[in-house]
A and B are shown apart, each in its own frame.
Chain A
Amino acid sequence: MSETPAAKPPEEPKGPGLCGQFLKDHGIATTRLPDSCGVETIEIDGAHLEAAMKLLRGSSEIKLDYLVAVSGVDSADTFDSVYQLWSYSNNNELIIKVRVKKTDVVEGQLPLVPSLSRFWSAANWHERETYDLVGIRYYGHPYLRRILNVWDWDGHPLRRDYKQLVDALNDKAPGSFR
């Protein structure tokens, strides 16, 4: 469970793909990551996320107007916020990753990623879910509270270092009311 994904073999440097080039033309720097199963994957700095999303969604040729999912991943040394983007009208696909280094996260606080839900309603519940399960704080979210776990749950279950304080199935905790 605690092992991390095997190191990928070093790939030859690739030029920016369709969407990466589009963002570059509009002055937003991206890093191209290895394609995940043939889909262009880029990494973007959190500060540019909102501007990039607005560009990709609004442009008539790219038109990535369908936010399929927002996932949180607790990787080896980063917290990733992964956005799957599709289009309702064409076949473009893009995966965007925003990475927050674990060393950058202040002790006792959650990693910060800007929220998209102010201009994209689809992101609202996905971000709440990611906050709940992986513990990424989306700043600017209108109503960031737990959605799947109960509101007073401790910790974020999909973190690698998550320890459940009370064994919910075989409750042996002394003084527990269950």
Chain B
Amino acid sequence: MATDTEVDLTPRLKTDEMLINMGPQHPATHGVLRLILTLDGEIVRHTEPILGHLHRAQEWQGQNRTWFQYQALIDRVDYLSGMFTSWAMARAAEVVDGCEVPERAEYLRVMVSEMNRITSHLLWLGTYLIDLGAMFGFPFYPFREREKLLELFEEIAGQRMMFNYIRIGGVMRNPKDAWLSKLKKFTEEFPDRVDEYEAIVTENPIFLKRTKGVGILRKELGMDYGITGPSIRASGVNIDLRRTKPYSVYPKLKFDVPVNDRDGDTFDRYIFRIREMRQSNEIIKQCLDMLPQGEISGKKQIAGLRVKAGEGFAAVESPRGTLGCYIISNGSDRAYRIKWRNPSFCNLSILPELLKNHPIADVMAIFGSIDVILPDVDR
């Protein structure tokens, strides 16, 4: 028999890992993402993302719709930055076809895309604070500026989010002078507005506690997973297609690509998006000054639009990273095969690694910081 001193006094609790289902209808998953979390107490040990709730067969549509019809569909792939999806496909079709794009169209493309980058980051900023639990109405600040840009989009493209403005060979419509001066006014006041956001967020002690040191993305790990965009630049990898594989008129424009000098955490990913918005604003300013006169499309925008036979891959730097489009054309009025390389899809694949050994309260802080758009993941 055991004496008193030999009795094991540790509490006899059953400890086991627990499976928790998060989503698909979770308000902070920006769409419908389902995560199956394996929890050890409050600590996440393993994550399995289940995708496809928003799968709309965009690649199948590409094979079964004419080029002209499909152009109108692809903005839906990433509804927050529709300009970039249009641009990626237009670029891929243009390199395969070999058609020239007029310079004015290129400047207009850069201009509207950078506007779109700002709106995308602004929406991210507002919703990210909500993800973190900041329910005090901060999102109205970035949404105020986003609204101004959306109104400009509405004026030039007729749509606030699904623009269908960038077409194969050029752009759809010429901006009026009034539109340009409105945009100029916006670019002049925008840096002050960014200062406002920063005054509220950047040194907010609660925000810092939720984000500093959380979800550190090691550079090597990010490169292994093929992460791109601000998320990897915040971890010190200098990859921005606007500089590393320059396209369009970006070589003529002066702007910085902010790159971190260490492995970035959630806070770094926030601050690098803020810096990127300021740079985008500078780019728009330069484009407004340099905008040449001339044609806006190098290809007739007709329903029977054709792309010459061939294959090619082209990519643009979207707010989320490398957005690529691989086209195989057989010279008919529709693609033989069209494959999308979506940054959200690739960036999301690292989520299980980032969540590992973090408390469940950080899941949304980390997931929000890699800025994933679910329609872009599921296509």
List residues of A whose CB falls within 8 A of some B CB.
Answer: 1, 3-6, 8, 36-37, 39, 65-69, 71, 73-74, 82, 84, 88, 91, 95, 120-122, 124-126, 129, 133, 146-150, 157-158
Contacts and interface: CB of A to CB of B under 8 A. Distances in A.
A39 B96 CA distance: 12
Contacts of A95: 313
B339 A148 contact: no
Interface string B218-240: 00000111100000000001010
A126 to B, nearest CB: 8
Interface string B115-150: 000000000000000000000000000000000000
A37 B313 contact: yes
Interface residues of B, number: 44
B202 interface: no
Given A37-B313, A68-B315, A133-B59, A3 B330 contact: yes
Please give me the 6 A-B residue pairs with the lowest Cβ-Cβ distance, nearest first: A122-B226, A37-B312, A69-B341, A71-B339, A5-B330, A148-B52
Contact of A37 (B95, B223, B350): B95
A67 B341 CA distance: 11
Contacts of B311: 5, 36-37
B312 A65 contact: no
B298 to A, nearest CB: 17
A158 B62 CA distance: 10
Interface in B82-107: 95-96
A71 B63 contact: no
Nearest to B223: A88
B332 A3 contact: yes
Given A5-B309, A39-B313, A91-B244, A84 B226 contact: no
Interface string B318-355: 00001010101111101011010100011001100000
Contacts of B95: 37
A148 B349 contact: no
Contacts of B182: none
A158 B63 contact: yes
Contacts of B57: 157
Contact of B226 (A36, A67, A150): A67
Given A37-B95, A148-B379, A91 B326 contact: no
A120 B309 CA distance: 33
A4 B330 contact: yes
Nearest to B315: A68
Given A37-B95, A158-B59, A148 B51 contact: yes
23 contacts: A4-B336, A5-B309, A6-B309, A6-B331, A37-B310, A37-B312, A66-B226, A67-B226, A68-B313, A68-B322, A68-B341, A69-B313, A69-B339, A74-B337, A84-B324, A84-B326, A88-B239, A91-B244, A121-B224, A125-B346, A148-B52, A149-B52, A149-B55
B225 A122 contact: yes
Contacts of B332: 3
B378 interface: yes
A73 B55 contact: no
B26 interface: no
A69 B326 contact: yes
Given A82-B326, A147-B51, 14 more contacts: A5-B311, A36-B311, A37-B313, A66-B239, A68-B341, A69-B324, A73-B339, A84-B324, A88-B237, A120-B224, A121-B350, A126-B346, A148-B52, A158-B337
Contacts of B310: 36-37
A85 to B, nearest CB: 11
Contact of A84 (B225, B239, B313): B313
A12 B236 CA distance: 44
A91 B349 contact: no
B349 A122 contact: yes
Contacts of B52: 146-150
B313 A36 contact: yes
B60 interface: yes
Contacts of A129: 345
B201 to A, nearest CB: 30
B64 interface: yes
B221 to A, nearest CB: 8
A3 B329 CA distance: 11
B173 interface: no
Contacts of B223: 65-66, 88
